[in-house]
Amino acid sequence: MAKKMFANPRDYAMKLSQLVQTTEESGSNVAEYFEKIRTAIDEDQVAEMPKAEFAEISVEFDDVVEVYKKAADDLDQMKAPVRLIGVHGSLKKTFRDYYDATVAMANALDVNKQQVDVTAFDQSEQDQDQLMEEFMKQVRRAFQMVM
């Protein structure tokens, strides 16, 4: 029996919705840690943060990177309905770029020296904002095409 090459539109929409929900929940969970480090950077207080707090922020960033990696891999493995192949390709690329931006932010934190590469951190923040906005536009487009 031959494998199905393309997804059922309803199944695709459901899987995409679950991926978006997981991504949004993960972003919400890490937001408080982002705000702590963003405030410390803005107030030039990174070195004065308790070491345990800085390490916790770094761990939370690493954890969310793993969630986004799994989401990017899942998106890569998803089969799209034939009419969504182009949109799905754009979704995959945009989300993979988003994941790469989250890696850059996590890597901007040096726990051993308790320092932040502010240039890399700021660039990652800008990239993440732009890429998530683009990703959500593509998701809305995909849902409109499925309906």
pLDDT of residue 147: 77
Domain-wise residue ranges, the chain: 9-146
Residues 6+ apart with CB under 8 A from 121: 37, 41, 105, 108, 109
Question: Which three-class secondary structure string do you get for the chain?
Answer: CCCCCCCCHHHHHHHHHHHHHHHHHHHHHHHHHHHHHHHHHHCCCHHHCCHHHHHHHHHHHHHHHHHHHHHHHHHHHCCCCHHHHHHHHHHHHHHHHHHHHHHHHHHCEECCCCEECHHHHHHHHHHHHHHHHHHHHHHHHHHHHHC
pLDDT in tens, the chain (147 residues): 345 566 788 999 999 999 999 999 999 999 999 999 999 999 999 999 999 999 999 999 999 999 999 999 999 999 999 999 999 999 999 999 999 999 999 999 999 999 999 999 999 999 999 999 999 999 999 999 987
Distance CA 68, CA 4 (A): 27
Question: Which three-class secondary structure string do you get for 47-63?
Answer: HHCCHHHHHHHHHHHHH
Distance CA 83, CA 66 (A): 30
- Max intra-chain CA distance, the chain: 64
pTM value is 0.92
Neighbours of 17 (CB within 10 A): 12
Shortest CA distance to 97 belongs to which of 120, 121, 124, 79? 124
